[in-house]
Amino acid sequence: MEIGSDVAPQQALGLRERKKLRTRETIARVALELFTEQGFHETTIREIADRAEVAPRTVSMYFPVKEELVFADHGALFDELEQRLHERPLGETTADALRAWITAVLADDRMELDKTRCRRQVVESDHALRTYERGLTERAEQLIAGAVAVDLGLPADDLVPRMVGAATMAALDALGHDAGDGTIPPAEYRRRGLELVDQAMTFIGAGIRGLQDAA
């Protein structure tokens, strides 16, 4: 899933929290720069700390696992997804909620396509990072499966909601790989992304409605 943005609005935070957020963002930014320049495994925590002008222990405090530096915004992104699905209005389907949320993320000025492309290149160049990314996307699959289960009145671990969650993430992975193509201008990427999202959510939404009718 590669539609990340810096999702935390700084104006809603206090001075101390804003400073911590800026430090975290700086560490993540310079880490991605170094990973892009010289490779993930070749880059040390000390090198990241030196470029970010912090102590190595500060890097480890914000990012206890080195892989987290590559996916620094995924936790906040999935928190936002969880909130959007949990707080959807009565009668709004999972597919409709996902379409609205992804459309908002793609249209958000905070989405930095250059950073997204760099991350994609780093991840694609390292098998261990691809495996780690797959573990992260499982959380999103579970969130979607849980919401679909509510739509269908099924247990969250039922096979059908899990299938829908996996199909949704497959569509988003395709969008993520598009982001890695540096030849696509930002406006075109957003246009293609919105088109893909609409097609995927239409397909998935129709499948959910069909299952509801069958039930």
The amino acid occupying position 167 is A
For 74, the 3-state DSSP assignment is helix
Pick the CATH number of 10-69 from 1.20.1290.10, 2.40.30.10, 1.10.10.60, 3.40.640.10: 1.10.10.60
C-alpha 29 chain-centroid distance: 16
Residue-wise pLDDT for 2-42, tens only, equals 555 554 454 566 888 889 999 999 999 999 999 999 999 99
Burial 140-177 (b: 16+ CB within 10 A, else e): bbbbbbbbbbbbbebeeeeebbbebbeebbebbeebbe
Class of domain 74-214: mainly alpha
Residues of each domain in the chain carrying CATH 1.10.10.60: 10-69
* Neighbouring residues of 61: CB distance < 8 A, sequence distance ≥ 6: none
Q: How confident is the model at residue 121 (pLDDT cuts 50, 70, 90)?
A: confident
Residues of each domain in the chain carrying CATH 1.10.357.10: 74-214
Half-sphere exposure of 16 (CA within 13 A, CB side): 0
Burial class (CB within 10 angstroms; exposed 0-12, middle 13-18, buried 19+) of 4: buried
d(CA 147, CA 101): 14
Residue-wise pLDDT for 144-202, tens only, equals 999 989 988 888 788 888 888 888 888 777 766 655 556 667 777 777 777 777 777 78
Percent with pLDDT over 70 in the chain: 86
Residue 53 — left, alpha, or beta (φ > 0 → left; ψ -120 to 50 → alpha)?
left
pLDDT at 76 exceeding the cut of 70: yes
Residue with tokens 């880059």: 43
Contact at 8 Å (CB) between 15 and 205?
no
